Amino acid sequence: MDFLSLEYGSFLVSITIIYWLIPNLQARLLILLTASLMFYSFMQVQYVWLLIVMLVINFWLGGEIRKGDQFIKQWLLFVGIFFDVLLLFGFKYIPFVATAIGNITGLPVGSSLAIWAKVNIVPPVTLSFFVFELIAYLVDIYRGNTPARDFLSFATYKLFFAKLLSGPITRYQEFAPQLLTRSRPVLPDIAEGVWLFTCGAVKKGIVADNMARFVDLCFRNSDRAGSIDLWLALIGYGIQIYCDFSGYIDMARGSALLLGFNLPQNFDFPYLSGSISDFWRRWHMTLGSWMRNYVYIPLGGSRGGLWRTCLNLMIIMLIVGIWHGANWGFIIWGIWHGAALVGHRLWMEFCTVFEDLHKIWKPLPMKVFAVLITQLVVFLGWIPFRLPNLTDTSMFLKRLWGYESDPQFGLKIYVESLGITVGQIALLMFGLFVMMLAAYQCDRAKWQLNWQVKLFLVPISLFLVSILSPDKKLPFIYFDF
């Protein structure tokens, strides 16, 4: 059930009305849980049982961790994390690992297993997000937090349809107090929820999906594209993935708000970051928070000296890359960002020795330059992320400088397929940047439209989405992760 479909709109409105008409708290939770199971069943009914089994086991482990002594707690935590990671590995990484083993050893059994797994194992949608939330739940209980008071509350939190598929990653301790709310939403809250959902729909339907047409054509024909075409496609992909994922998050947060739940923010204008570390504080913020709390700090964080800090940063970003998918492109993307974070950390250490270097970045032109350098690193990293085949990545990189496009490329791509010129595409991208900059300034100035204006703009915006989005609806990119 796609967020941009009429089916989801009808589903959300129906559940919202039923939910607020029922005064009993337990009945409300049961309605939400039933709705969430129905929602997931529309996508992969064959895996509903798996999610329930994982919930039962982790709920039981959480309760036992709370009651046990230190040794029992450590043992049960290990068992829970091992179980969750094993399921993630089994469904998501067997083909990749088997192929790698076959290539390294030359044994045909590796290739045979990889082929069998690719044909017979379909990873459940949401498994990566699902596992990370379960691990966080167990670790938080081990650290002294209170486990779920009953299975209904835990299952409702974990399966809540608004965040089920692609986050944002939400800790139980952040979500649990909201399960106890009984107050009905006031009109400004409803307006904000509808407005958030509409903003996400505009990002996804108008910007991301239309940009995807140009990006897909250029990436598929990169051997015939010129350097200018590929740079535009690379920038377009950065816009696409940001609007696709942040659009999903906006729609998820808007849906949740209609039901009285506040989900955490996941993006904070990451393409205006002035350093790679700042970028990762503002991109996929809940994943970054998860990595910091449950991997980076347990590894020692920055407490073990400079080189241990650098090693921890590399490990973190390698895990982030692997978490996104089982191919070399994601691994290289993770290593690239890890190297960038290490480079930034070393530079900051260098600046502490030579304090005058900090003053270099204070003038506005140097701040702009820092943003441009940061985004160059980020956008170059999108190449292996988008092209998991390393041969394609290598060719794309080589053609970024000094290549003219095939004479037929412009005719087929711009004229026949898109009906738009290179200059017009570049102008559209610049316009999107200006809009993002304006939105950033409004956000930092705490300036917002009042709820009446938002409600007025909602039907207009949704109408524009209906007529300007492509006929072929594209799945959300992060559904694959």
Only one residue has tokens 């897909």, namely 216
pLDDT digits (tens, 9 = 90+) for 446-472: 888 898 999 999 999 999 999 999 988
| Model confidence at 253: pLDDT above 90 | yes
| Model confidence at 340: pLDDT above 70 | yes
The total of other beta-carbon atoms located within 10 Å of residue 466's CB is 12
Which pLDDT value is given to residue 304? 81
Read off the pLDDT band of 182 (50, 70, 90): low
| Crossing angle for the helix pair 227-258 and 187-201, to the nearest 10 degrees | 160
How far out from the chain centre does Cα 191 lie? Answer: 25
| Model confidence at 15: pLDDT above 90 | yes
Please state, for a pLDDT cut of 90, what percent of the chain lies above it.
68
Dist. CA 338–CA 269, nearest whole Å: 21
| Model confidence at 23: pLDDT above 90 | no
Measured in degrees and rounded to the nearest 5, phi and psi for residue 259 equal: -100, 5
State the average pLDDT over residues 341-348: 93
Which pLDDT value is given to residue 398? 92
Question: Which has more confidence, 123 or 287?
Answer: 287
Which pLDDT value is given to residue 364? 86
Q: What is the pTM of this model?
A: 0.93
Q: In this structure, what token pair is assigned to residue 163?
A: 């965040």
State the average pLDDT over residues 305-332: 92
State the average pLDDT over residues 315-344: 94
| Model confidence at 327: pLDDT above 90 | no
Dist. CA 276–CA 295, nearest whole Å: 19
pLDDT digits (tens, 9 = 90+) for 62-109: 999 988 888 899 999 999 999 999 999 989 888 888 877 777 777 676
Contacts of 172 (CB under 8 A, 6+ apart): 133, 136, 137, 140, 145, 148, 154, 157, 158
pLDDT digits (tens, 9 = 90+) for 358-373: 778 788 888 999 999 9
* Mean pLDDT for all residues in the chain: 91
State the average pLDDT over residues 152-164: 95
Which pLDDT value is given to residue 27? 93
Contacts of 47 (CB under 8 A, 6+ apart): 40, 124, 125
Q: In this structure, what token pair is assigned to residue 412?
A: 């087929």
| Model confidence at 353: pLDDT above 80 | no
Question: Which has more confidence, 256 or 184?
Answer: 256
Dist. CA 268–CA 262, nearest whole Å: 16
Which pLDDT value is given to residue 14? 95
Contacts of 38 (CB under 8 A, 6+ apart): 11
Read off the pLDDT band of 198 (50, 70, 90): very high
Shortest CA distance to 36 belongs to which of 256, 284, 290, 264?
Answer: 256
Residues marked active site are found at 324
